Chains A and B, each alone.
Chain A
Amino acid sequence: MLQFLMSPNFWASVLASTTPVLLATLAANIMTKAGLFNLGIEGTMLICALGGVLTSAFTGSLLMGALVGMLLGIFVSFVLGYFILMMNAPMNACGVAINLAATGGTVFILVMICGSKNNSSSLVSSFFPSVNIPLLQNIPVLGQILSGQNFVTYLSWIFVALCYYMLYHTKLGLNIRAVGENEEAARSAGINVLAMKFIALALCGVFCAFGGMYLSMGSMHFFTAGMVSGRGFLSLAMDAIAQGNPLIGCASSFLYGFSDTITVYLQLYSQLDLQLISAFPYLFILVVLIIIQFVRSRIEKKKQQSQI
């Protein structure tokens, strides 16, 4: 029943379906670190997914598409930032507003430009290529899994490393974390709180953009209405596990990718009830969350005891 775990295709699919969630989780991580909560990740991804496709279709250039997608991501995040940081609007309401605007707005623009409410397949848009890594691709099994993934998948791994390094090993990261931990203290230490938050929002926008563009310009070669399909919201759960740490975020996204792909294969290889199978990824996340919370509280207790 579990023989598919030996299949390299299975693991390649795991990495592929991890990618968009991983990027969204990174976006959520950096928000958490800066003391913000961005419910609008889902919508931002959707907007960037469409923006990238349309720009690359009209300019014929992948680079332009990616660039405009990124700028759109930053722009949408800044709109959110403007409202919650400068106008003191409630964070969650603004996030929801972005999601609603994105769900309806993308379809609206899709119809205006492509004449279809379903997808943008009437346009020829560029897409990120799959990358075969020399040497690695010749190794059996491992090569099949790790090589030949989409460019954005590799990019997401680089982003995780960079993000981690930035957060924990640079002054900028320290400042961002300080702002997130205690805004007043950070301000009294002379940190420009607003600037730090906007920098975090910009990074969040970039990660969202690549998460969205992976879906519409990597895995798929055109935009489909609603194609983010809850991955932005899932990233918030992943971030709850990671509590802002990109490495744990990466691990939990991978766990999600694994449990999501396993549902596909369980349907094919087992006779288990479908309802049970589809609940699997979420049960999985719940169990991991409980375990992590348990471990955390144990550590917390030990700390307190040692202090006494």
Chain B
Amino acid sequence: MKKITKLLALTLVLAMALSLAACGGSGSGSSAPAAEAPAAGESAPEAAPAEESSEKAEVYLLIKARGDLSFWDSMAEGGDRAATELADKANVHVIETTADAQANLTAMYEAVDKGADLIFTGGDFLDNMMTVADEYPDVAFVLLDEKLPDGVTYPNIYAVQFATSHAGFLAGICAADVAAANGSKVVGFIGGMDEQVIIQECFMGYIQGAKYYDPEVSVVYNYVGAWGDPEKGKTQALAQYNDMGAEVVFAFAGGSGNGVHQAAAEVGKYVIGADSDQSLSYAEHPETQKAFVTSVLKLLGNTIYDLTKQFVETGDLPLGERHILGLAENAVGIVENDLFNEYVSDHGKELIDQATAAVKDGSLEIIGAMDKDQATIQGEIAEMLG
């Protein structure tokens, strides 16, 4: 009996330790091997003498963690690409700091202590970046997918945001096209949370794209109200498919979107993913995989690679400024895989090319939600929906 007691206690302690490891993680502990991973491809940079590192730019990417198949993976992919392709000009370190803001801050200080010239991180760590940028005015910082608070500027922070409305626009064209092929004029949208500019930005593009394809297409929408509730996402998707007659639903809802994918597979209709080519994650679930028309992407990797290249070649970045990058800069896009080619008609593809070209030459302006207050956004969405 005593042995069992001890065993039980041990199990619980283990369980607690596991949970701690998963939640908290330690910045230095988990970051060390990650920092070396990209470096392994270079000529032993850890042992590099001081003079060599002064020639090469030290570039640090602070990400939460790899493996989300989305935002952070896309960043890491850009970092890895820069690490190999720009190896002779820069040491690029991709460091996983977990979601812990304190661990990220520690990693950022470590990076500047090691002589970082350029540091990238995501909008989640805006506060850390402002703190460190203030103390180290000589280091360049790039903030991804977030802007600095109103009225605040730092001479050494370049803020980059992504016009996902552009990608949403293309997704809207795809959705309307696939719906038309199945004799429907209804497309759906399911967002994670209401009144979130990130979602509204994409949603507005989606509506405009669907109407660009055919002004008579109607868009129905739901908000799950949670990022991790697939069951509710499924209920909403079923309502849109079965009761509203939607043929395609665009799921922009994090983990809740999984329920939308499931619903699409069950009723044999279509879905559009977000953040990564989500059809890839369903390789083992073919019936779900083939429900995917496409997925909307932020091409963070492209942006990171381009900016790193620009930095090491010219030593210049538009620091102190903030830019919204879109289709014209190849910073957003949609997945064009076999399923896309199969489902989207030639007419649809033509319209996508046409819209892309029009955005690039400035003849088509896609209205987004960024920098607008909620009242304006809601008004514009209502107007777009008609």
Asked if A pairs with B, the answer is: yes
Residues of A in contact with B (beta carbons under 8 Å apart): 4, 7, 9-10, 13, 16-17, 20, 79, 82-83, 86, 97, 100-105, 107-109, 111, 115-119, 121-124, 215, 219-222, 224-227, 229, 231, 260-261, 264-265, 267-268, 274-275, 278
Known: A215-B231, A226-B255, A260-B232. 19 other contacts (CB 8 A): A7-B242, A13-B239, A103-B19, A104-B23, A105-B22, A111-B67, A116-B68, A118-B69, A121-B258, A122-B284, A219-B230, A219-B259, A219-B262, A227-B231, A227-B255, A231-B231, A264-B239, A275-B194, A278-B225
Which of A109, A123, A268: most chain B Cβ within 10 A? A268
Question: Can you list 6 contacts pairing A with B, beta carbon distance less than 8 Å?
Answer: A13-B235, A101-B16, A119-B281, A121-B284, A224-B255, A278-B223
- Find chain A residues with CB under 8 A from B283 CB: 122
- Find chain B residues with CB under 8 A from A275 CB: 194
Q: Is the interface on chain B under 10, 10 to 19, 20 to 34, or 35 or more residues? A: 35 or more
- In the bound complex, how far is the Cα of B225 from the Cα of A102, in angstroms? 22
In the complex, how many angstroms separate the beta carbon of A215 from the nearest chain B beta carbon?
A: 6
Is B181 on the interface with A (CB-CB < 8 A)? no
In chain B, residues 1-59, which have Cβ atoms closer than 8 Å to a Cβ of chain A? 5, 8, 11-12, 15-16, 18-23
Given contacts A220-B230, A226-B228, A227-B231, contact A116 B19 (CB under 8 A): no
- Find chain B residues with CB under 8 A from A261 CB: 235
Residues of B in contact with A (beta carbons under 8 Å apart): 5, 8, 11-12, 15-16, 18-23, 65, 67-69, 194-195, 220-223, 225-226, 228-232, 234-236, 238-240, 242-244, 255, 258-259, 262, 281-285, 288
Q: Is the CB of B8 within 8 A of A79?
A: yes
Q: Is the CB of A219 within 8 A of B19?
A: no
Q: Is the CB of B232 within 8 A of A17?
A: yes
- Find chain A residues with CB under 8 A from B225 CB: 278
- Find chain B residues with CB under 8 A from A121 CB: 258, 281-282, 284-285, 288
In the complex, how many angstroms separate the beta carbon of A33 from the nearest chain B beta carbon?
A: 25
User: A219: which of B68, B221, B231, B240 is its contact (CB, 8 Å)?
Assistant: B231
- Find chain B residues with CB under 8 A from A260 CB: 232, 235
Closest B-chain residue to A123, C-beta based?
B284
Q: Is the CB of A4 within 8 A of B8?
A: no
Q: Is the CB of A118 within 8 A of B255?
A: yes
- Find chain B residues with CB under 8 A from A116 CB: 67-69, 281
Given contacts A108-B19, A115-B67, contact A229 B226 (CB under 8 A): yes
- Find chain B residues with CB under 8 A from A117 CB: 65, 67-68
- In the bound complex, how far is the Cα of B244 from the Cα of A215, in angstroms? 25
- Find chain B residues with CB under 8 A from A101 CB: 12, 15-16, 18-19
Q: Is the CB of B285 within 8 A of A13?
A: no
- In the bound complex, how far is the Cα of B119 from the Cα of A111, in angstroms? 27
- In the bound complex, how far is the Cα of B328 from the Cα of A158, in angstroms? 59
Q: Is the CB of B239 within 8 A of A220?
A: no
Given contacts A104-B23, A229-B229, contact A268 B239 (CB under 8 A): yes
- In the bound complex, how far is the Cα of B258 from the Cα of A30, in angstroms? 32
- Find chain A residues with CB under 8 A from B220 CB: 268
Q: Is the CB of A104 within 8 A of B234?
A: no
Q: Is the CB of B281 within 8 A of A229?
A: no
Given contacts A119-B255, A121-B281, A220-B259, contact A225 B15 (CB under 8 A): no
- Find chain A residues with CB under 8 A from B15 CB: 101, 105
- In the bound complex, how far is the Cα of B239 from the Cα of A261, in angstroms? 9
- In the bound complex, how far is the Cα of B230 from the Cα of A20, in angstroms? 13
Q: Which 5 A-B pairs have the closest CB atoms?
A: A104-B19, A108-B22, A226-B228, A104-B22, A229-B229
Which of A79, A118, A225: most chain B Cβ within 10 A? A118
- In the bound complex, how far is the Cα of B18 from the Cα of A97, in angstroms? 12
Which of B16, B22, B232, B284: most chain A Cβ within 10 A? B22
User: B19: which of A83, A100, A227, A278 is its contact (CB, 8 Å)?
Assistant: A100
Given contacts A16-B235, A121-B281, A220-B234, contact A274 B243 (CB under 8 A): no
- Find chain B residues with CB under 8 A from A265 CB: 239, 243
- Find chain A residues with CB under 8 A from B243 CB: 4, 7, 9-10, 265, 268
In the complex, how many angstroms separate the beta carbon of A84 from the nearest chain B beta carbon?
A: 12
Given contacts A10-B239, A13-B238, contact A221 B285 (CB under 8 A): yes
- In the bound complex, how far is the Cα of B219 from the Cα of A235, in angstroms? 35
- Find chain A residues with CB under 8 A from B232 CB: 17, 229, 260, 264
User: B20: which of A104, A220, A264 is its contact (CB, 8 Å)?
Assistant: A104
- In the bound complex, how far is the Cα of B17 from the Cα of A97, in angstroms? 11
Q: Is the CB of B222 within 8 A of A268?
A: yes
- Find chain B residues with CB under 8 A from A274 CB: 194-195, 223
Q: Is the CB of A225 within 8 A of B222?
A: no
In the complex, how many angstroms separate the beta carbon of A210 from the nearest chain B beta carbon?
A: 14
In the complex, how many angstroms separate the beta carbon of B260 from the nearest chain A beta carbon?
A: 11
Q: Is the CB of A264 within 8 A of B67?
A: no
Given contacts A117-B65, A118-B69, A124-B284, contact A224 B235 (CB under 8 A): no
Q: Is the CB of A79 within 8 A of B242?
A: no
- Find chain B residues with CB under 8 A from A103 CB: 19, 23
Q: Is the CB of A224 within 8 A of B230?
A: yes
- In the bound complex, how far is the Cα of B69 from the Cα of A116, in angstroms? 8
- In the bound complex, how far is the Cα of B12 from the Cα of A229, in angstroms? 23
User: B255: which of A104, A105, A225 is its contact (CB, 8 Å)?
Assistant: A225
- In the bound complex, how far is the Cα of B232 from the Cα of A17, in angstroms? 8
- Find chain A residues with CB under 8 A from B259 CB: 219-220
- In the bound complex, how far is the Cα of B235 from the Cα of A121, in angstroms? 20
- In the bound complex, how far is the Cα of B65 from the Cα of A231, in angstroms? 28
- Find chain B residues with CB under 8 A from A231 CB: 231
Q: Is the CB of B228 within 8 A of A224?
A: yes
- Find chain A residues with CB under 8 A from B244 CB: 268
- Find chain A residues with CB under 8 A from B262 CB: 219-221
Closest A-chain residue to B244, C-beta based?
A268
- In the bound complex, how far is the Cα of B15 from the Cα of A20, in angstroms? 25
Closest A-chain residue to B259, C-beta based?
A220
Q: Is the CB of B235 within 8 A of A264?
A: yes
Q: Is the CB of B19 within 8 A of A264?
A: no
Closest B-chain residue to A257, C-beta based?
B235
- In the bound complex, how far is the Cα of B288 from the Cα of A97, in angstroms? 36
- In the bound complex, how far is the Cα of B285 from the Cα of A101, in angstroms? 29
